[in-house]
Chain A
């Protein structure tokens, strides 16, 4: 069942309009990081990337709301719904994490790359509950 749910969530996340915005943002911000290699730029771009994910979710608000409503109406458990939301967000985070890791590795900032990836993982884990509460 989890495989089916994961596939559905991935499909929904990839096909949404927000995915295009996330990819565009990842491209622009990575260029910024490479052209302005300053510590404040790294921090701000990572903060902005989290905002970009929230933005992408807001731009696909209707689809996500319908998806969650269907899951709730079909009697899905909270844990499963959280799993779906986390899969949905993690797919959105993948392009960002990938581009940032490459960028920071290119600048020999391996520690910054690891910290950024940890922030992304924590965001994926902890943003599921507020999203569930808002869209419920």
Chain B
């Protein structure tokens, strides 16, 4: 959830900028290039005008308002009813302690929850250079009773170190070249020095990827920790030493290993996870890792699914009306030559702009923390459903209602015929035609090509005229025939009807022309 909010905080200025630019463009450019004798030239893009019309129509339509209202109510309901829990996971290992609390920062011992038997470890990542060697400090505080000591290597090793630390000794590895004078120089406090074998301490793994010594985890099976025991300097946790090291705000990892009072900590898990990043709890044969990150509960996910289902029911019921409104616009634009894919894209883009602008209050409320990110997620998912549904509906209706227009046809053949012969042949053929009456036919000889122009009247309608132009030119040693058909009518005929007449004319002319050339 925190990640979603962080992403939104980054995206919000971008979205606002985007919407601002779109609004500016829509208000600035209002049409196409128009020449007005009185006023100035207006620069306009037809695409942005179409987009503006779609957005305006969407905002003013009852259907979109109902959908928006539904989406808002459901988003707020889901956000209010959403519950979250800390993410937890069982790991297949049996820890020898009862509790392990890990923080990537320095946690003062006063803040640490009350425990009677514990070990506090500060892994200080700041290195101390003495001569050519750098040392890493491990500050330890122990409160271990004898009953806690087990027979395992881990517990024996920890107990050995704790015994020295409790006696205010500084512990270094046997191979280390440090002496008491060096230690005094670092801490300005005289501490007795003990040399022990720390190689076992280096290998102690409290949980997968968490080591007793300085570690930053495991990457691809490779543990990232200090493997050379001679570089480790174990010191007792004395107040004057900690003050001198200035641990607050520096690079320190805090580990607290607990041996009792786990129930109290589990009961106050919220407070513990405010301080620590994650805790590992011994739960019999397995270890339970509870992390600070929130995850939605199954009830929240069910609520999200149900709210999506409800919004889809309402969207499905109303979007038909909105699609009808859009198709009314499309029928007018189709005559002007707007392709269906372009229109479909424009509707989807218009919806994206409309719903992005409408989502602003929700986005702002979410960023200010009034509603949680689940509301935005619900809004987004519902919008994706609406976009897919609208797109499919528009495509389905356009596909069933309108056919593709074929306005021209070209073929190249190696035989040619004189222009006059062609005109006479076509004229004879069309005079006997059942569907069309020929009103005009003429041949024009240009420098590079010849043109045959034909005007036909469709017999089954009152004033539907088809204009045919056949361009004839030479391509190398062949002849190219390009037939262009344009149908127009004074009657209120549907584009589908006009398109079918156009194809009828095209098939008659192209077939007839081939017969004429061959004869």
Contact call B81/A41, Cβ cutoff below 8 A: yes
User: In the complex where A55-B66, A55-B317, A55-B318 touch, is A44 in contact with B76 (Cβ < 8 A)?
Assistant: yes
Number of A-B contacts (CB under 8 A): 73
Q: What residue of chain A has the Cβ atom nearest to residue B314's Cβ?
A: A55
Number of interface residues of B (CB under 8 A): 25
* Given A28-B310, A38-B80: A44 in contact with B318 (beta carbons within 8 A): no
- Contact flags (1/0) for A11-24 with B, using CB distance below 8 Å? 00000011001001
The distance from the CB of A107 to the nearest CB of chain B, in whole angstroms, is 14
Q: Is B63 an interface residue (CB 8 A)?
A: yes
Please report whether the interface of chain A is mostly helix, strand, loop or mixed according to DSSP: helix
The size bracket of the interface on A is 20 to 34
The residue in chain A whose Cβ has the minimal distance to the Cβ of B76 is A44
B315 to chain A, nearest CB (A): 9
Which residues of B lie under 8 Å from residue A118 when comparing CB positions? none
Chain B contacts for A17, CB-based, 8 A: 317
Residue of B nearest to A61 (CB): B321
**A115 at the A/B interface (Cβ < 8 Å)?**
no
Which A residue's beta carbon lies closest to that of B320? A59
B303 in contact with A32 (CB, 8 Å): yes
B313 in contact with A28 (CB, 8 Å):
yes
Query: How far is it, in angstroms, between the C-alpha of A55 and the C-alpha of B81 when the chains are bound?
Result: 25
A51 touching B299 in the complex, CB below 8 Å, given contacts A21-B316, A28-B313, A58-B317: no
Contacts of B306 in A (CB 8 A): 28-29, 31-32, 35
Q: Which single member of B62, B302, B303, B318 contacts A59 (CB below 8 Å)?
A: B318
Inter-chain CA distance A123–B307, complex, in Å, is 24
Take A24-B313, A47-B73, A58-B63 as given contacts and tell me if A32 and B307 are in contact as well, using a CB distance cutoff of 8 Å: yes
Q: Does A56 sit at the interface, judged by CB under 8 A? A: yes
Cα–Cα distance between A38 and B350 once the two chains are bound (Å):
36
Q: Does B70 contact A (CB under 8 A)?
A: yes
Interface residue? B406 (CB, 8 A): no
Please give me the residue from chain B that is nearest to A32 by CB atom.
Answer: B306
Shortest C-beta distance, B318 to chain A (Å), equals 5
- Residue A36 at the chain B interface, CB threshold 8 Å: yes
Across the interface, name the chain A residue whose C-beta is closest to B299: A35
Most chain A CB atoms below 10 A, which of B80, B316, B317:
B317
A32 touches B310 (CB 8 A): yes
Contact A21 B70 (CB under 8 A): no
Interface residues of A in 74-123 (CB under 8 A from B): none
* B101 contacts partner chain A, Cβ-Cβ < 8 Å: no
Q: Roughly how many angstroms separate A55 CA and B76 CA in the complex, as a whole number?
A: 20
A125 at the interface (CB under 8 A from B): no
Interface string of B189-223 (1 = CB under 8 A from A): 00000000000000000000000000000000000
**B-chain residues with CB within 8 Å of residue A61 when the two chains form the complex:** 321
Per the bound structure, the CA–CA distance linking A58 and B69 in Å amounts to 15
Q: Is the CB of A70 closer than 8 A to any CB of chain B?
A: no
The chain A residue sitting closest to B306, CB to CB, is A32
A44 B317 Cβ-Cβ under 8 A: no
Confirm or deny: A48 has a beta carbon within 8 angstroms of a beta carbon on chain B: yes
CB atoms of B307 and A25 under 8 A apart: no
Query: Separation in Å of the B122 CB from the closest CB of chain A?
Result: 45
Give bound CA distance, A35 to B69, whole Å: 23
Given A48-B70, A48-B74, CB of A58 within 8 Å of CB of B62: yes
In the complex, the answer to whether B314 meets A35 with C-beta atoms within 8 Å is no
- Residues of chain A contacted by B77 (CB below 8 angstroms): 32, 40-41, 44-45
Q: Nearest CB to that of A30 among chain B residues?
A: B306
B514 at the interface (CB under 8 A from A): no
A28 cross-chain contacts in B, Cβ below 8 A: 306, 309-310, 313
In the bound assembly, the distance between CA atoms of A91 and B81 in angstroms comes to 31
Q: Is the CB of A40 within 8 A of B302?
A: no
In the bound complex, how far is the Cα of B306 from the Cα of A61, in angstroms? 27
Q: Say yes or no for A52: interface residue by CB 8 A criterion.
A: yes
What are the 5 closest A-B residue pairs judged by CB atoms, nearest first? A21-B317, A36-B81, A59-B317, A44-B77, A55-B317
Can you identify 14 A-B contacts, CB atoms within 8 angstroms? A21-B317, A28-B306, A28-B313, A32-B303, A35-B299, A35-B302, A36-B299, A36-B303, A41-B81, A44-B73, A55-B66, A55-B318, A58-B317, A61-B321
20 further interface pairs, Cβ-Cβ under 8 Å (given A24-B313, A55-B66): A17-B317, A21-B317, A28-B313, A29-B310, A36-B303, A40-B77, A41-B80, A41-B81, A44-B73, A44-B74, A44-B76, A48-B70, A48-B73, A48-B74, A52-B313, A54-B66, A55-B318, A56-B317, A58-B318, A59-B318
